[in-house]
Amino acid sequence: MELVAHLRTAIELIKDPDIERTLGELEAVSDVKVDGAEVHVYLELIQPLHWVAQSIDEAVKAVVAQAAPGMQCTVHAMEKQTPRIGNARSGRAHV
């Protein structure tokens, strides 16, 4: 599991190009799994805009290629779910 920890630490240093904060600061890296010669990176992005997600995808693959040469990387990006504030029944938010 040393490789997983190393990859996670490196991936968490990647900056979101839209808001200029690292994936670690945004708590965007939900999981990193190694299965044989494949690395699966699961991300939860605040706004998975196409250009942002594509840029982050490329950066993650570059980090994995450098840290674990020869391994294939798949990035699974999902929209981060934020908790709803308010009364779900009435639809009114409490401020």
Q: What is the pLDDT of residues 35-76, one digit of tens each?
A: 999 999 999 987 767 788 899 999 999 999 999 999 999 999
Rounded Cα gap, residues 65 and 80, in angstroms? 26
Handedness of CA 46, 42, 65, 1 (dihedral sign): positive
| Main-chain dihedrals φ then ψ at residue 78, nearest 5 degrees | -125, 160
Q: By three-state DSSP, how is residue 79 classified?
A: strand
Share of the chain above pLDDT 90, in %: 66
User: For the purposes of burial, counting CB atoms within 10 Å of the CB of 14, is it exposed (0-12), middle (13-18) or buried (19 or more)?
Assistant: buried
